[in-house]
Structure 1
Amino acid sequence: MSAGGPFRAIGIAGTGVTVYRKWLDAVSDNIANINNAAPTSGEAFRARYVTAQAVDYGSGTGGVQVGGIELGSGEGRLVHEPDNPLADENGYVRYPDIDLGAQMGQLMMAQRAYQANISVVDRAYDAYQAALQLGRNG
């Protein structure tokens, strides 16, 4: 491993951990709000989508960062629920247009990527500790 290798690996993997944590937060928020009704006079809950971007693109040394949060449509879908207290005069309420299956797929991908980056941090830490032990014994 090159000089600074474990630290560089920890830093780059740490950026991935941060991005994937934000992605997990956004997906969790989307799933938690999937059944939130809103009056037709307002917007439905707007799904959150994390946009990631490379840091120092092309150099391979900067890692990744959250480039922004994109919001889904507030139009949602109209559902006829005349007994809902939020229903309009025609009995409709607005629900978010969020696909639970797609969100679960996103959740699994983000979770696996988060775990992979944590594993890189753990392996780099172990390599650093081994190098320290060599220095003490040498």
Structure 2
Amino acid sequence: MSLASVFNIAGSGMSAQTTRLNTVASNIANAETVSSSMDQTYRARHPVFSTVMQGQADGDSGSLFADQGQAGQGVQVAGIVQDQGNLEARYEPNHPAADKNGYVYYPNVNVVQEMADMISASRSFQTNADMMNTAKTMMQKVLTLGQ
């Protein structure tokens, strides 16, 4: 693995964390939306990440994990799944979105958990950016060795 591949790995991490931040923002924005039907109620969404292995990227196996033939080369978003947790049904017969029984359905979004996820994603993004800056500094130092 070369020092240059650090940029690809950190870049894929930053891209994945951007997707995570976008899903968190979507969840928080829809935390108080209501519906008169369980089928139409917003459900929290969460990204699913997977490792991009070296064998998938370029077929080279010259790494620490050569006996396994694969080394991590970054991360990718495998998909975004909906949380299948229970929705909150509240009895509010005077609400305009109430169903015939007087229930209004609220999303299964936990705002506190979403805020914690947002902080975690933001810090992960910053860590990847710091990795890129450190690799850039190291490459610049290597170039000055011959002077």
Q: TM-score, normalised by structure 2?
A: 0.79
101 and 133 in structure 1: CA distance in 2 versus 1, 3 angstrom threshold: same
The answer to whether the Cα contact below 8 Å between 2:51 and 2:72 also exists between their aligned partners in 1 is no
Unaligned runs of 5+ in 1: none
Q: Which residue number in structure 1 is paired with residue 50 of structure 2?
A: 53
Q: Percent identity?
A: 32
88 and 106 in structure 1: CA distance in 2 versus 1, 3 angstrom threshold: same
Point out the structure with the larger helix share. Answer: 1
Q: CA deviation at 1:64?
A: 0.8
Amino acid at match of 1:17: M
* Secondary structure, counterpart of 1:25 in structure 2: helix
Q: Distance in 1 between matches of 2:145 and 2:6?
A: 20
* Secondary structure, counterpart of 1:85 in structure 2: coil
Q: CA deviation at 1:90?
A: 2.3
Q: Distance in 1 between matches of 2:135 and 2:90?
A: 52
Amino acid at match of 1:43: Q
Give a deviation string over 1:87-126, Cα, whole Å, max 9, x none. Answer: 1122211110121222122112111111101111111122
| Count of aligned positions | 133
Amino acid at match of 2:47: V
Q: 2:101 aligns with which of 87, 90, 108?
A: 90
- 1:77 equivalent to 2:88? Answer yes
The answer to whether the Cα contact below 8 Å between 1:55 and 1:65 also exists between their aligned partners in 2 is yes
Report runs of 4+ in structure 1 exceeding 6 Å deviation.
none
Q: TM-score, normalised by structure 1?
A: 0.84
Q: Distance in 1 between matches of 2:90 and 2:49?
A: 34
* Secondary structure, counterpart of 1:12 in structure 2: helix
124 and 41 in structure 1: CA distance in 2 versus 1, 3 angstrom threshold: closer
Amino acid at match of 2:117: Q
Q: CA deviation at 1:46?
A: 1.6
- 1:67 equivalent to 2:78? Answer yes
Q: Distance in 1 between matches of 2:130 and 2:124?
A: 10
